[in-house]
């Protein structure tokens, strides 16, 4: 049955387009997460100092204003506005950096894709039975295994880093607050940077896997390819029938024009070409009909019925048939050969007329 047919055919452009319209694209969320984490670490490295200074100024402002004698509503509103503006100035560059990195990460994977169909809720996705089946699927197991690998790597990096710096950490008890903060920040930054780099490598591997899985999901059976071709181009049987009907109509029109021909050039049985020339209305002789085998026989029969001369010229008949379409003029390179045939025909007509 078609439902059991193996999917062996590459997806067509139409299938890919339909999948994109539904929001089904090869994308790894891990790439976004890893890049945002890495960019966050770097942004905190370069902008963390200025953010801490703003926070210190904010705390100083709060402590300073606690001793106002007239701490009324207007003073409180003004203080809150100043604190909010200072915090926003410190946070906005980092948040803006996160948004830009996230947008770049998404665009680099799938480009600009907007799908309305993806916004429409699918109730079958919240079906408990479907959820249980999805949990036991191969894809879910792979995803779970990847998550366990990530957790193991992050835990291993944190363990190794903390154990390596265990002695310096024990000395933090005797340090001042600023020294504690500086040492702890350095340790956290080092651990986070290592984790971000490892996660980025895993995310790139996951992206490769997602592309492979997406291509595999879009694979088609031979029957699906045939059905799509029928929908796009029409049923081949109907197209063949239409072409056959068109050929038959064209053949009938051609046979109706044969009685107007001046001469039929043959080779002598396989090919037949009907020529017509009127010096008053035509610039060159014209092929008004042609055919091989049975059609050639029909042309000769019609010519004999209407007393149209039949001239045997094997080479000319083949050349006229293979190079000139019906209702087309004879090219200049064949003028001389065709002129000899027409001259012969005109001589015959004059002989018959003078009898």
* 75-130: pLDDT as tens digits: 667 767 777 777 777 677 777 777 888 788 777 777 666 656 555 555 555 566 65
Could you give the CA distance from residue 274 to residue 299 in angstroms, rounded to a whole number?
8
| SS3 at position 220 | strand
Residue 214 sits in the same domain as residue 326: no
| Rounded (5°) CA angle 153-157-161 | 175
pLDDT for res 338: 87
Residue 312 has pLDDT above 80, yes or no: yes
Quick check: is 135 in a domain?
yes
Q: pLDDT for 175-187, tens place per residue?
A: 666 666 666 677 7
Residue 1 has pLDDT above 50, yes or no: no
> Cβ(108)–Cβ(211) under 8 Å?
no
Could you give the CA distance from residue 276 to residue 286 in angstroms, rounded to a whole number?
5
Quick check: is 226 in a domain?
yes
Residue 244 sits in the same domain as residue 107: no
Domain count, the chain: 2
Residue 195 sits in the same domain as residue 86: yes
Residue with tokens 């044969």: 258
158: CB partners within 8 A, 6+ apart? 191, 195
Q: pLDDT for 203-250, tens place per residue?
A: 888 888 888 888 888 888 888 777 777 666 555 666 777 777 877 887
pLDDT for res 170: 66
Could you give the CA distance from residue 95 to residue 203 in angstroms, rounded to a whole number?
22
Could you give the CA distance from residue 100 to residue 19 in angstroms, rounded to a whole number?
27
Residue 220 sits in the same domain as residue 278: no
Quick check: is 1 in a domain?
no
Residue 226 sits in the same domain as residue 243: no
Kind of pairing between the strands at 328-329 and 286-292: antiparallel
Could you give the CA distance from residue 103 to residue 151 in angstroms, rounded to a whole number?
26
Quick check: is 164 in a domain?
yes
Could you give the CA distance from residue 23 to residue 32 in angstroms, rounded to a whole number?
17
> Cβ(306)–Cβ(264) under 8 Å?
no
Residue 30 sits in the same domain as residue 114: yes
| SS3 at position 310 | strand
| SS3 at position 265 | strand
Residue 266 has pLDDT above 80, yes or no: yes
pLDDT for res 173: 64
Residue 188 sits in the same domain as residue 160: yes
The backbone torsions φ and ψ at residue 151, rounded to the nearest 5 degrees and listed phi first, read -60, -40
For 69, 82, 83, 179, the CA distances from 78, given in Å and listed in that order, are 15, 6, 9, 34
Q: Residue 217's CB: how many other CB atoms inside 10 A? A: 13
Q: Which domain-ending residue is among 195, 230, 265?
A: 230
Q: Which domain-ending residue is among 184, 212, 230?
A: 230
Quick check: is 333 in a domain?
yes
Quick check: is 2 in a domain?
no
Residue 226 sits in the same domain as residue 280: no
Residue 344 sits in the same domain as residue 218: no
Beta bridge partners of 265: 273, 311
In percent, how much of the chain has pLDDT > 90?
0
Q: Which domain-ending residue is among 230, 258, 278?
A: 230
> Cβ(225)–Cβ(269) under 8 Å?
no
Question: Which domain CATH number covers 270?
Answer: 3.40.1690.10
Residue 249 sits in the same domain as residue 222: no
Higher pLDDT, 298 or 109: 298
Residue 89 sits in the same domain as residue 30: yes
Averaged pLDDT for residues 63-84: 66
Could you give the CA distance from residue 90 to residue 163 in angstroms, rounded to a whole number?
33
Quick check: is 260 in a domain?
yes
pLDDT for res 2: 44
Which residue range(s) make up the domain with 309?
239-354
Higher pLDDT, 52 or 118: 52
Quick check: is 113 in a domain?
yes
Could you give the CA distance from residue 10 to residue 21 in angstroms, rounded to a whole number?
19
Q: What is the pTM of this model?
A: 0.45
Residue 180 sits in the same domain as residue 248: no
Residue 5 has pLDDT above 80, yes or no: no
> Cβ(261)–Cβ(327) under 8 Å?
no
């Amino acid at each position: 049955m078609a439902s059991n047919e193996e999917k062996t055919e590459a997806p067509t452009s139409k299938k890919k387009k339909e999948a994109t319209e539904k929001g089904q694209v090869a994308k790894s969320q891990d790439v976004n997460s890893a890049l945002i984490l890495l960019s966050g670490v770097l942004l905190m490295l370069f902008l963390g100092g200025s953010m801490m200074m703003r926070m210190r100024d904010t705390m100083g402002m709060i402590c300073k204003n606690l001793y106002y004698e007239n701490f009324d509503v207007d003073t409180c509103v003004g203080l809150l506005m100043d604190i909010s503006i200072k915090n926003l100035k410190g946070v906005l560059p980092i948040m803006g950096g996160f948004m830009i990195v996230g947008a770049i990460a998404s665009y680099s994977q799938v480009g600009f894709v907007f799908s309305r169909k993806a916004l429409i809720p699918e109730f079958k996705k919240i079906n408990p039975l479907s959820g249980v089946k999805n949990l036991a699927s191969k894809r879910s197991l792979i995803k779970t295994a990847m998550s366990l690998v990530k957790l193991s790597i992050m835990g291993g990096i944190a363990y190794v880093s903390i154990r390596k710096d265990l002695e310096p950490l024990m000395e933090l008890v005797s340090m001042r607050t600023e020294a504690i903060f500086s040492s702890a920040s350095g340790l956290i930054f080092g651990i986070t940077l290592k984790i971000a780099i490892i996660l980025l490598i895993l995310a790139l591997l996951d992206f490769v896997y997602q592309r492979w899985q997406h291509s595999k999901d879009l694979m088609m059976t031979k029957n699906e390819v045939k059905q799509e071709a029928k929908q796009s181009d029409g049923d081949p049987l109907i197209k063949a029938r239409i072409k056959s009907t068109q050929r038959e109509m064209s053949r009938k029109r051609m046979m109706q024009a044969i009685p107007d021909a001046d001469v039929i050039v043959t080779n002598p049985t396989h090919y037949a070409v009907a020529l017509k020339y009127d010096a008053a209305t035509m610039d060159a002789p014209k092929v008004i009909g042609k055919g091989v085998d049975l059609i050639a026989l029909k042309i000769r029969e019609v010519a004999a019925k209407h007393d149209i001369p039949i001239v045997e010229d094997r080479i000319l008949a083949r050349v006229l048939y293979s190079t000139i379409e019906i209702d087309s003029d004879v090219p200049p390179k064949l003028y001389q050969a065709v002129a000899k045939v027409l001259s012969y025909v005109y001589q015959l007509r004059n002989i018959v007329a003078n009898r």
